[in-house]
Amino acid sequence: MKVRVVDDAVAGGRLVADLLKRTLSLKSDMLFGLAAGGTMAELYRFLCEDYKAGLLDFSRASCVNLDEYAGLSPDHNQSFAWFLYEQLFSRVNFEPKNIHLYNGAGGIEAELTGMNRFLISNTIDFQMLGVGENGHIGFNEPESAFASSPHSVKLTEDTIAANARFFENSENVPRTGLTIGMRDIVRARQVILMAYGAKKAPAIDRLLRDDFADPMLPCSILKLCADVLIVVDRDLADIVGLR
């Protein structure tokens, strides 16, 4: 695992946008693994700016999103599909047929089967990840099986509390999520995990220091990936003692 320390989330977004741009220039039909959440905001802002400046072309690329809240349709303003539409899809030129998302309001089994089929026949080239305070990646919560494929998840109280900031109150946060599995993430050719701020420090500290992967810390499965970059900001780096 490589680690890069950047000044802040803006610098992290710029760094990852540049890496993505380089990879896309080598392989225009890349499959991106996307994530929603606050960590992604600066990255997506730079991708949109670079697209507008004529520096990026997504017309041959595809993307798949990690996860979704069960019960929220794509036009619900707290769904991850909506987040991605607002922050990325409405501003860049992915072909709609190349965007692969869960429909949170679809039948859970049908959605999981569809995603599983897609991921069995396609390999993610460039997976972008945020991380939960409890170490979750996607909605793979602590104790998720490392061999998991797309599945539904009962969200932990930690995750519900952390995500309540996006809803009117914590009662409105859905209790179930759909997520691609740990197995699917590990199969990605390249993984970039971004973590900013003190709250993510305990998870990153263990990810970098433990010499084993532990299902209680889902992000630790990244130790098994072929090509991983962890991007952290200065605040987090200071806490975990990185230069």
To the nearest whole angstrom, how small is the minimum distance from the Cβ of residue 26 to ligand F6R? 26
Q: Please answer whether residues 225 and 188 qualify as being in contact, where contact means their C-beta atoms are separated by less than 8 angstroms.
A: yes
To the nearest whole angstrom, how small is the minimum distance from the Cβ of residue 79 to ligand F6R? 11
Residue 116 known to be catalytic: no
Residues 36-65: x where in contact with ligand F6R by CB under 6 A, - otherwise, as a string: xxxx--------------------------
Give, as ranges, the residues between 68 and 97 that touch ligand F6R (CB under 6 A). 80
Residue nearest to ligand F6R (CB): 130
Cα–Cα dist 8/196, whole Å: 7
- Distance (Å) of CA 211 to CA 35, 97, 130: 27, 41, 21
Residues 93-132: x where in contact with ligand F6R by CB under 6 A, - otherwise, as a string: -------------------------------------xxx
3-state helix vs strand vs coil in the chain, percent to 5: 45, 20, 40
What number of other Cβ atoms are within 10 A of residue 46's Cβ?
22
Q: Please answer whether residues 40 and 10 qualify as being in contact, where contact means their C-beta atoms are separated by less than 8 angstroms.
A: no
Displacement of CA 137 from its chain's centroid (Å)? 7
Residue 172 known to be catalytic: no
Residues 149-188: x where in contact with ligand F6R by CB under 6 A, - otherwise, as a string: ----------------------------------------
State the catalytic residues: 67, 134, 136, 141
